[in-house]
Structure 1
């Protein structure tokens, strides 16, 4: 609407920001909004100092305050139960956006004004370049921050978009001479995601697998296939939920010129938990990679350096999700899984036995061997994700059932090896299709 009324870019940003703020005030109230605004002012003020360590300290202080008893008290005082859940999720993505803005602002000041009073820790910002482009005409200001963090399509349920990507694409769209967004394509995809949301609502109303995950007594009485099916279904519906959340948000963001990340990949054919982290929540993966993994050292520091970078990254994910013990086990399981996968890759690439196996075995047998090796690693990763879906006691019941006898474990390995083989085959076919499209 602002485009067709020929409203200037700055005025358009102000109008959209006011609208976003009014809607957030309507759903959460004035006091929760003022708390978020106070965080904005604090982070913006710190970013102007140009000190990365202070930015991170402020971010950690925000996360610690979120789990304090005082914050919990005020949540229950000013919000109802459903609003508390939505506010908690929105606040998590909100704080990621604050950190992204502050670090990208410092990076802008470092690259555009290198002779300013820049402290030694600012040199780390050289690692924050995301490849989006550094041709911004001016330094990001407070209005840019407010528009970015309160932008309604991504405020409630995410996903996270780096400030540099968001700002560059929105400004490119707002300054364009013609409005090139394909509105009909957006409407079609929105209808598709809404149909999936209706399906999700329908099955939650008539099927009670979620409740099974909180009842140890019922799980104790269920057979092993039924327990594993409940865990599998929980994972599938979690994936569909975030496809709806991120899909609807992504399509609404397209109206402002933002190119959405890909939707969460179906977990049925993801054989590697490295790929699970890379393709399920692309926004969170980009955040961890840009602002934590690469600045620490990442893949440039050898295998041990990668382990340390991964450990710090997963510890951050644990803190951001809420410091709960079951989440610690979830992150620990994922760290172990990703580390084992990386160790296997290093073994196949650099060890004499790995090189010999690749030279002697046919591609088909390499695929079978990889499926056999991946199966037990995948089981460990499933146990980790069960800690995320359910509480600790329920997950221990599931693990106990899965390891009750050698026969049951053997049958599980047979089934999961077949699933890994199928997932590897699908992945290879999709990769081949991409190569063909690239050649064409």
Structure 2
């Protein structure tokens, strides 16, 4: 956050404002060159903020994928090309963790690592959209289509901190930009007010972090070890609230800047409040919508790559195996993305198991009227979901402190915690069912 805030409430916000102003002028005067403006501006900023070496690496990475697609289109099979792209993406994520030679300092190293990961995720997403979208066949050979692809990959507002977004949505929006200079003043004013709303939350987050620095406790585990059970729960809750608020600000500002640019339906909405997220599966769907839609592409890749000549093919068991295989592939990708540390492996493993437990609960209690029974069974799953996120947001040692002090603390504090989670699950389940209607 200390690095991201410089781009949202610090001096580097000027780069975002210059992009919005330049894009607006280009959109109104020469809209057909809007993709070219994105490419040139982002290239200049990357070379200025980071280095020419990193910009060269980015362009080489993009060029290699484009050449690969050309050979696959003429000589390869679409089915196996998906698997090949998946392998290349996994290798690229591994390389992203080893790019210290491109950076001059630690801050640059972080920006390069994160942005290179986002770039390759967008490359994979774009390639899959092109394989699935037969309507692109007539456009692939045109220079404008190539410029739009490059603009999608290099679009500056979400380039460093995300989120990921689909090429289909970007292509439709860039081809249908509003070039009317007489756009309603009230509409423009509302967009700017929404942007300042997220900036206000960024300021609030900065004030909170001045007094509550819960993420720093991962470096002082001996202090956390002295906490009683309720202090430990307070630490865990603050970690999750501040994590939500951070990505609400980052994704919200990126989305709002895209809306101001006229790309209204490109970037997904920011995370929903964790106050009414009561299941692991619901968390993955609603916290990072862009990532969820991206994972659906992985789900399709892994399902299609599951051998179709198996004896169980077509049976219910085969469907279950396909879904299990897809989930393992998706979560393995997430583990690679964040780095294969002990805490990440525990977090990913728990999420796989909890996601399938959620599906079992949903299958057994198909009726929306069994709120109390679902809450009774779901409360221990929700407690485990919270603890799994502690592994992710802190470290391995603090995660095991929660297990030893909370889950093994019978009857107190375990029973009290389960009762609290029962109430949370019951209320959230009712609210979400009513919202779904």
Q: Same fold (TM over 0.5)?
A: yes
Deviation at residue 396 of structure 1 after TM alignment = 0.9
Structure 1 range deviating more: 98-107 or 260-269: 98-107
Q: Check if 1:196 corresponds to 2:219.
A: no
Match of 2:219, SS state, is coil
Corresponding residue for residue 428 of structure 1: 433
Is 1:315 equivalent to 2:332 in the alignment?
A: yes
User: How far apart are the structure 2 equivalents of 1:314 and 1:206?
Assistant: 34
> Aligned match of 1:105 in 130, 138, 155?
130
What CA distance in whole angstroms lies between the structure 1 residues aligned with 2:230 and 2:122?
Answer: 42
Aligned residue number for residue 262 of structure 1: 269
Which digits, 9 at most, give the CA deviation of each residue in 1:4-50, with x for residues without a partner?
653141x2221232112111222112111111111111111112223
Q: Distance in 2 between matches of 1:176 and 1:243?
A: 31
Corresponding position of 1:271: 278
The aligned counterpart of 2:114 is: 89
Is contact 2:279-2:385 (8 Å) kept? Answer: no
- Asked whether the equivalents of residues 330 and 387 of structure 1 are also in contact (C-alpha less than 8 Å), the reply is yes
Distance across 2 between alignment mates of 1:341 and 1:140: 45
Which residue of the partner structure matches residue 297 of structure 1?
303
**Distance (whole Å) between structure 2 residues aligned to residue 4 and residue 321 of structure 1:** 37
**Residue in structure 1 matched with residue 94 of structure 2 by the alignment:** 64
Which residue of structure 2 lines up, in the alignment, with residue 116 of structure 1? none
- Which runs of 5 or more residues in structure 2 are unaligned? 1-23, 74-80, 305-313
- With 187-196 and 11-20 compared, the bigger mean Cα shift is at 11-20
TM-score by length of 1: 0.82
Instruction: Give the superposition deviation at 1:160.
Output: 0.5
Closer, same or farther in 2 for the Cα pair 1:111/1:205, shift >3 Å?
Answer: closer
Does 240-249 or 420-429 show the bigger shift? 420-429
Are 1:2 and 1:12, in contact at CA under 8 Å, matched by a contact in 2?
A: no
Please list the CA deviations of residues 41-74 of structure 1 after superposition, one character each: whole Å capped at 9, or x if unmatched: 1111112223333323322221222234xx23x1
Equivalent-residue separation in structure 2 for 1:347 and 1:5 (angstroms) = 56
Q: Mapping of 1:176-215 within 5 angstroms?
A: 182-215=187-220
Moved more, 328-337 or 417-426: 417-426
Distance 1:137 1:172 in 2: 20
Secondary structure of 1:161 counterpart: coil
Q: 1:19 to 1:389 in 2, by over 3 A?
A: same
TM-score (norm 2): 0.82
In structure 2, distance between residues paired with 1:282 and 1:183 = 25
Distance 1:322 1:110, change over 3 A: farther
CA deviation profile, 1:200-222 (whole Å, cap 9, x unmatched)? 11111222222223322111111
Q: Does 1:287 align with 2:318?
A: no
Shift of 1:347: 2.6
Looking at structure 2, the residues matched to 374 and 347 of structure 1 have their Cα atoms a distance apart, in angstroms, of 12
C-alpha distance in 2, partners of 1:163/1:212? 39
Q: Deviations over 1:300-352 (max 9, x none)?
A: 95333222211211111111222222111111111111010112222334xxx
1:390 Cα offset (Å): 1.1
Contact 2:140 2:146 in 1 (8 A): no
Deviation of 1:177 after TM superposition, in Å, equals 9.6
**Structure 1: stretches of 5+ with no match in the other structure:** 114-134, 350-357, 436-440
May I ask how many residue pairs the two structures share in their alignment? Answer: 391
Q: 1:110 Cα deviation (Å)?
A: 8.5
> Root-mean-square deviation (CA), in Å?
2.6
Supply the distance in 1 between the matched residues of 2:91 and 2:183 (Cα, whole angstroms): 42
- 8 Å contact from structure 2 (residues 38, 156) kept in 1: no
Tell me how far apart the structure 2 counterparts of residues 67 and 252 of structure 1 sit (CA, whole Å): 29
SS in 2 for 1:144: helix
Aligned equivalents of 1:341 and 1:281: distance in 2? Answer: 18
